[in-house]
Structure 1
């Protein structure tokens, strides 16, 4: 009887809905069996959500459960008599859904994300302190949406932040070794991780930890780590330890990079905010005002600024590829290419750190003593140089931080720039021939470097210019550079890119590795803003000779003592001034040059202009710089006035192409027909960038603000090289124009906070006159700073007013907002 009952139950009629669910369940079970190697996101949460189209972002995606309930409600109307069977089928489906492959679970978790995180631009302009928010509430939404505008402010659209897990380790009295106001030493168990926000010095005392691709072993070496909110936060993970634990010390560092927030809103609220729960636990017994330069975060909800924070996890396919490529040792010469935003820079950074890990030995018994060569061919987002440069750098130790934390490299311990060329633009598409010649010259320099470091591998970072002519250049480089590997950072193709690239790799007998892209969805700075941050960091960074790590100076460029360089007369220090692109009238050279960014190029030969016939050879070893390495010393440079000067053997090719402007007597260097021919990379190299602060016609001098050391300039001149200034097509230095304004606002804010503090302590009565006088001085300072050319302070921040100003804006106009609550708000 029981078997008959079971047969009768099996033969009972089933609704169409239940039958459909049974078929879906069977298909999903089959798919799960065919894909057993999919990573479980519950073990390692995905660092970033995949990109969505505008249509998907406009309509919040409904979850799978809502869709099932919608079908169920419609089915109930049609089949009310079979409601119980429908509910049973749904419960079975729900149970099966919980056992589905991780890919389905990931889609459900993404659908549960709040709508505000999908259709609004992320921002770290939020704070629990309203006056801090108002202090930097400048126009920034359009800067995220319209990258070409390049407004000097981050996005200010409030968004709802998702509670995202960051650290797997929870601090307690058992794993805290010691802590005070400056240091924190903790034990991290194997396969556990810890995430910090801010900047700090890391010292591995016991065990082995991984950080941004590098495996750090116990040693006396201390590593400087920069972890701002503008990028995914690095994860400190214990790989192996003593008794299953690694012991790591974190120490506050004061490099001065946080002071740049007084010069630009782009640097505001990118470091750690108020103390987190973990900080308060480790600061017990310290003063209530104690605060380190880093904070321990368990989840993104611990952040007091409520920013979109994500850990920097690596795709498993990326990790496998890095391990496979690193086994080639000194024979590795790989080109990393792919579309924009695919993660090329992140992959290159991980690869560099992995090869530079100071491990005693690796699995292949290869120990890197010759460093790693990095050929950066991306002038739009360079790693170790300001924008507009392609360069070859020789690295000796891993680097932990975003590009604006190392905008230049000149340290014997970390690495040096072997050779650099100024492209003069963020994309090589305007002059691909010059770009290819620069790349080939840098490759020749790498071959020369191998004579001293035979086991030095090479990593080449190619820009996102991978379509059309960029693809032709990439395929030509694959067949010409003698590579060992090619890595393409996108599994989605397109086929018209992958096929020619694969064909070129096949002809060159080079393996092509295709990896999935890892795009960044949650960004608080646009590409133009990150370039501005890197350029500003470059001009404010200093490298004292007795300190290993760089320092940043918060003094605005207008208050920095410049180099005074003669451009005419017997003490002429520069040979010529070149403007890349279309030819300009000589009368306009002074206006084009004033307030612009120029490259300081050393010319090694008179035949330095491409497309120009050679002239008589000459030796010019007489120029010498009178500048000093001391930043406080007099920086007047009389390049060219020396008793050891070697006379010219004849007029050089460059000098024969120079035209003097009629009014200023500027040496305008132009060769070409309609557009300027660039300098030949084989006989020229870039020393760095400079900001032309003014053109003094009376004294025939240029005032240049540059971080280039005086020893570098003297070394180039002592080798007989001439100096040419090249004005490229880089972004306008809006960040430099507005530095005084933001510095004045920051000074007024500090004064206002001091006044409020004195009032609370009832000490303001005796200082009323002094405080009022200082207040008036600060108001006058803000007023003067707001009236510089090409900048307009905007009080009305409404959308209608912004759109009206946008229609009237000129090329150089910045739009800044006087923050509400300012004492000087109504005095403009």
Structure 2
């Protein structure tokens, strides 16, 4: 932890000098190996030297990065790196009155307030309330609202530690400055595989972050529909990253380059559609991204940033696989490997040291003839300190974070109003959509006259088609939606998922649909297909977090609990009232 003599508040002219917004900020002069551990949020700018953050090396540049550190995840630690000739280059000139303070420092950084509103998600999803706030005994005040440096150890927090095998694997995959040009321009495809709760997603995010320090663009293919990194759950997506992202997945939900909606937290309901979606995204990467420079899409190559010395002529790919590695899951992942043809496979062994189930399947002859490197990694078991934040809770937080986000390109959340009080889009589905599609177990049994009831309060995906639909289902008697029973979802090779939303209500008489979504009007106007999957809106999306305990006991929004739509209190009643449980364990354990 740096001493108080190296903490210098910035004035308004100082912040303008560094191109920062006019919010409280502090400059820190750090010696090598000095660390800063904190809870909360901040904006980080490296002015001189370099620092390590979550396994990513950041050197002096004009770019600043939002950093999120909630107690629900491992706490990030900023570590100053020893000065080197390359890191000593003065990319950003310091004002003269800072030179004396920073003369002997190995690294100089600026921390600034980040007023994102992310703390409000704890009110929307109560299990996460206060995750950005420590106890008063473990922090001190640096004058930055929402940022609490930790000055003592606390059992309740889990610090982030980078295993040695992870660091060596990343260093071996990411090209270095001293490498020859032909080595830097090689096509790199990394697939991260292993069992759930082994650290796959954390490693994949760290690898992608480090790659962004060498490449202008890095592709990230998300194949884990249950624990997605940059989207809400239920999607397989291809992202193009241009900078590192520091924080849990719910803090950096991005608009994907292209995505497809599976509609479930697992591909087991429709494995063929899952594989087709991944195949389509891999084709998009190879044809449109991998060897096409970013400025090729611009009107003029002169629009490329001449000051950016990172590699621009090739785009590496990081593939984050799912943690289902037994039975059907193992076979699906073997087919994903065949489709992806990775140059490197980063493999997590099981926690008990047993053989990875994926190794029990023989690769195809075409796959066996390809060169690949398999790099073993040590798993990092989940900390018992974080056990209360289960996967279903994190999925619910991801959905609510997405629905409360302020929109694409911003790091802001609006949580002042619950979903039930937000102003929705009024949509005429007869004009807006060519198709309404239901997917998932039991979807084929929904008759046209009941589809409006199914969509009420539903989490849905908005899908754009590359070409207009050849067949538009006719409106049936009793409803006005273009729905056809047992219709398959659009082909991933001719469509893309724009994002998710909530059908807050559908009026069968007027035919109007009220929709809530963070998508803007330009994107929403492209959606021609509405898809409802197996995933449902979390219970927190139906509640009003503004209510007091007394108000909550009476009802919701002035309506008694017994009359609140979509919610049933005290258990379901009647035949068929309970949710059907689908049995899929058709093979004996000995057959796996």
TM-score normalised to the size of structure 2?
Answer: 0.79
CA contact (8 A) 1:386 1:408 kept: no
Match for 2:110 among 246, 249, 253?
249
Match for 1:426 among 255, 262, 265?
265
**2:310 alignment partner in structure 1:** none
**1:352 alignment partner in structure 2:** 208
Alpha-carbon offset, residue 785 of structure 1: 7.3
C-alpha distance in 2 between matches for 1:807 and 1:337: 43
Aligned residues: 511
**1:172 alignment partner in structure 2:** 3
C-alpha distance in 2 between matches for 1:590 and 1:503: 46
Alpha-carbon offset, residue 783 of structure 1: 5.5
Higher RCO, Cα 8 Å, sep 6+: 2
Q: Does 1:342 align with 2:190?
A: no
**1:270 alignment partner in structure 2:** 131
Gaps of 5+ in 2: 12-22, 84-102, 176-182, 294-312, 580-592
**2:161 alignment partner in structure 1:** 313
Residue deviations 1:73-101 (CA, integer Å, cap 9, x gap): xxxxxxxxxxxxxxxxxxxxxxxxxxxxx
Alpha-carbon offset, residue 513 of structure 1: 1.5
CA contact (8 A) 2:330 2:358 kept: yes
Alpha-carbon offset, residue 206 of structure 1: 2.4
Alpha-carbon offset, residue 350 of structure 1: 0.7
C-alpha distance in 2 between matches for 1:501 and 1:345: 26
Superposed CA RMSD in Å reads 3.0
Compared CA separation, residues 320 and 564, structure 1 to 2 (3 A): same
State which drifts further: 179-188 or 254-263.
179-188
Matches within 5 A, 1:190-269: 190-241=32-83, 243=104, 245-269=106-130
C-alpha distance in 2 between matches for 1:503 and 1:175: 60
Aligned to 1:373, the other structure's residue is in SS state: strand
C-alpha distance in 1 between matches for 2:190 and 2:336: 11
**1:292 alignment partner in structure 2:** 145
Compared CA separation, residues 388 and 777, structure 1 to 2 (3 A): closer
Compared CA separation, residues 786 and 405, structure 1 to 2 (3 A): farther
Compared CA separation, residues 791 and 712, structure 1 to 2 (3 A): closer
C-alpha distance in 2 between matches for 1:348 and 1:329: 20
C-alpha distance in 2 between matches for 1:810 and 1:197: 44
Compared CA separation, residues 273 and 235, structure 1 to 2 (3 A): closer
**1:118 alignment partner in structure 2:** none
State which drifts further: 477-486 or 222-231.
477-486
Alpha-carbon offset, residue 184 of structure 1: 3.5
CA contact (8 A) 1:596 1:733 kept: no
Q: Does 1:457 align with 2:288?
A: no
Alpha-carbon offset, residue 554 of structure 1: 2.5
**2:391 alignment partner in structure 1:** 527
C-alpha distance in 1 between matches for 2:466 and 2:523: 15
C-alpha distance in 2 between matches for 1:806 and 1:700: 29
Alpha-carbon offset, residue 276 of structure 1: 4.6
Match for 1:707 among 518, 524, 531?
518
Aligned to 2:371, the other structure's residue is in SS state: coil
Aligned to 1:374, the other structure's residue is in SS state: strand
CA contact (8 A) 1:478 1:508 kept: no
State the structure with more CA Rg. 1
Compared CA separation, residues 227 and 660, structure 1 to 2 (3 A): same
Compared CA separation, residues 786 and 245, structure 1 to 2 (3 A): farther
Alpha-carbon offset, residue 269 of structure 1: 1.3
**1:817 alignment partner in structure 2:** none
Alpha-carbon offset, residue 790 of structure 1: 4.7
Alpha-carbon offset, residue 588 of structure 1: 2.3
C-alpha distance in 1 between matches for 2:404 and 2:453: 25
CA contact (8 A) 2:232 2:398 kept: yes
Alpha-carbon offset, residue 452 of structure 1: 2.1
Aligned to 2:483, the other structure's residue is in SS state: strand
CA contact (8 A) 2:437 2:488 kept: no
Q: Does 1:735 align with 2:534?
A: no
**2:234 alignment partner in structure 1:** 388
CA contact (8 A) 2:504 2:515 kept: yes
Q: Does 1:332 align with 2:192?
A: no
CA contact (8 A) 1:256 1:553 kept: yes
Match for 1:594 among 456, 463, 466?
456
Alpha-carbon offset, residue 186 of structure 1: 2.7
CA contact (8 A) 2:292 2:314 kept: no
**1:153 alignment partner in structure 2:** none
C-alpha distance in 2 between matches for 1:526 and 1:575: 38
C-alpha distance in 2 between matches for 1:368 and 1:479: 26
C-alpha distance in 2 between matches for 1:272 and 1:777: 25
**2:484 alignment partner in structure 1:** 669
Alpha-carbon offset, residue 230 of structure 1: 0.8
Compared CA separation, residues 733 and 777, structure 1 to 2 (3 A): closer
CA contact (8 A) 2:407 2:520 kept: no
Alpha-carbon offset, residue 786 of structure 1: 4.9
Residue deviations 1:93-115 (CA, integer Å, cap 9, x gap): xxxxxxxxxxxxxxxxxxxxxxx
> Which has the larger share of helix?
1
Alpha-carbon offset, residue 189 of structure 1: 2.1
Match for 2:254 among 408, 414, 423?
408
Match for 1:488 among 321, 342, 347?
347
Alpha-carbon offset, residue 704 of structure 1: 0.9
CA contact (8 A) 1:540 1:554 kept: no
CA contact (8 A) 1:322 1:351 kept: yes
Alpha-carbon offset, residue 319 of structure 1: 0.4
C-alpha distance in 2 between matches for 1:321 and 1:533: 31
C-alpha distance in 2 between matches for 1:438 and 1:460: 14
CA contact (8 A) 2:71 2:131 kept: yes
Compared CA separation, residues 695 and 790, structure 1 to 2 (3 A): closer
Match for 1:724 among 513, 529, 539?
529
Compared CA separation, residues 501 and 248, structure 1 to 2 (3 A): farther
TM-score normalised to the size of structure 1?
Answer: 0.58
Match for 1:478 among 337, 347, 360?
337
